[in-house]
Amino acid sequence: MKINNAKILKMCLVTLLVFTIVSFNIVAKAEGIMWALGTSGSGSSPYIMGGVLSDVANKHLEGLKIFPQVTEGFEANIGLIAKQTIPIAEASNDVVIKGYAKYPDICGLFSFLMSPIHILVNAKDNFKSIEDLRGRKINIGAPGQSTRGVATALLEAYGLKSGDYKVSSLSTKDSADALKDEQIDAAIIIANIPMPNIASVAVTKRIDLLPLEGPNADKFNKDMGFIMAPTSIPAGTYKGVDKKVNTLAFPVMIIAHKDLDAELVYQFTKSVWDNLNELKVAHSAFSPLELESAILGWKDVPIHPGAEKYFKEVGVIK
């Protein structure tokens, strides 16, 4: 019988192709889907926190795995999401709000980190409220630092205008030490908790944190465009501060393109928030997170349908 070499070659190629497709599908099914989480530079706080978040989520996900991806930072992440270069990314809410005006396909999933406003004072001065700082020397941040504008608006909401207090213009890093040395009476600091400089000062100096709550805090948030979320600094975060301190915080969000698979977004969101206590144990920076504040502070930025499904299930969205 005459053997047709061309037919044999064709059959071999078809068999190889089928084997390759089947093998690929088996591997893909076994390994699942991998999502890069855009963070910031290697070793940065966003990168580290993204790694912790990924580790907790991955324990409770099947068929989907998250891993932190080094990027150029929050502003760059907006473009990466808009162009669908990466599935999910971190960005501070102010950057997202600004980016959404240019890239309307961006959606929020949830806020996963809070940068609370600390109003740091010496415990010996026995200040009870922000109004007590009238006539005192307050560090509001260095010129050009974003903290400066926030601090000025905060004090104005409490009736303290320019001239009602003495201005200190130190950097955030230097302000806690200045309080320790009694060069200032108070410092307004925006930072993830525990803020190392404050924690260091608290070891040798009795400190206190003033609450940011009530009608004046609401006015402050309104004046800022409602870009902050209510939160609290847990008792014991800093030595000597043994009570929970209510405050406002600037959220860091997880964002995605609106077309990212809704069911996978739902599963990812659920894996994080159903295991919030585990996340808090994993790193103290997650301590201020509360379910009720998960989608606050975004202004007009929409929530992704997959995340919306979860937050409706748990009653955050009615």
Tell me the per-residue pLDDT of 37-91, one tens digit each, with 9 for 90 and over. 999 888 778 899 999 999 999 999 999 999 999 999 899 999 999 999 999 999 9
Q: What is the share, in percent, of the chain residues with pLDDT greater than 70?
A: 90
Show the CA angle centred on residue 102, arms to residues 305 and 145, nearest 5°: 105
Amino acid occupying residue 29: K
User: What integer pLDDT is reported at residue 43 of this predicted model?
Assistant: 79
Question: SS3 of 49, please?
Answer: helix
Say which CATH superfamily domain 116-249 falls into: Periplasmic binding protein-like II (3.40.190.10)
Helices 262-273 and 45-58: crossing angle in degrees, nearest 10, is 100
Question: What tokens appear for 243 in the block?
Answer: 């009570």
Tell me the per-residue pLDDT of 222-233, one tens digit each, with 9 for 90 and over. 999 999 999 999
Which one, of 87, 103, 112, lies nearest residue 37 by Cα? Answer: 87
Question: What tokens appear for 168 in the block?
Answer: 């200190």
Domain boundaries, the chain: 27-114+251-313, 116-249
Fold match, 27-114+251-313 / 116-249: yes
Contacts of 202 (CB under 8 A, 6+ apart): 238, 239, 240, 241
Q: How many CA atoms lie within 13 A of 291 on its CB side?
A: 17
Cα(258)–Cα(245) distance, integer angstroms: 36
User: What integer pLDDT is reported at residue 130 of this predicted model?
Assistant: 97
User: What integer pLDDT is reported at residue 16 of this predicted model?
Assistant: 42
The answer to whether 254 and 92 have CB atoms below 8 angstroms apart is: no
Residue indicated by tokens 């709000």: 97
Which of these CATH numbers, 3.40.190.10, 3.30.1360.40, 1.10.760.10, 3.30.300.130, describes 27-114+251-313? 3.40.190.10
Tell me the per-residue pLDDT of 264-288, one tens digit each, with 9 for 90 and over. 999 999 999 999 999 999 998 898 8
Residue indicated by tokens 């404050």: 198
Which one, of 65, 6, 55, lies nearest residue 35 by Cα? Answer: 65
Cα(20)–Cα(100) distance, integer angstroms: 42
Which one, of 193, 232, 236, lies nearest residue 210 by Cα? Answer: 232
